[in-house]
Amino acid sequence: GDSVTQMEGPVTLSEEAFLTINCTYTATGYPSLFWYVQYPGEGLQLLLKATKADDKGSNKGFEATYRKETTSFHLEKGSVQVSDSAVYFCALSVNNAGNMLTFGGGTRLMVKP
């Protein structure tokens, strides 16, 4: 079956540090890949996505590249801010046509001033 594995947290960084959150996947078909962010007590917000190999999704300084050869979709940001503190979820959907999203376990990021 489909699965998503992401690095366990919490990840604790100082403000302006470089962020990487690793995400790898296995899928029976050709998936679309997503990163979602969840702030405390809230639902999920789409951060970025990529639908085919070598696509780079980017938003708010975050970016991730769809690497089919390594089945990865690592999230990066060059300089984190305290306001980036949240839980980040990597997810995939095969066909991206209303099929279910398969989520990774989530990675909590804490950014200290």
Partner 1 sequence: GAVVSQHPSWVICKSGTSVKIECRSLDFQATTMFWYRQFPKQSLMLMATSNEGSKATYEQGVEKDKFLINHASLTLSTLTVTSAHPEDSSFYICSAFGQKDGYTFGSGTRLTVV
Q: Pick the closer one to partner 1 by CB: 45 or 81.
A: 45
Contact 34, 106 (CB under 8 A): no
Q: How many CB atoms lie within 10 A of CB 52?
A: 11
Out of 31, 92, 104, 111, which residue is the one contacting partner 1 (CB under 8 A)?
A: 104
C-alpha of 31 from chain center: 14
For residues 26-55, which are near partner 1 according to CB under 8 A? 34, 36, 41-46, 49
Which secondary-structure segment (H or E) carries 38? strand 31-38
Residues binding partner 1 (CB under 8 A): 34, 36, 41-46, 49, 89, 93, 96, 98, 100-101, 103-106, 108
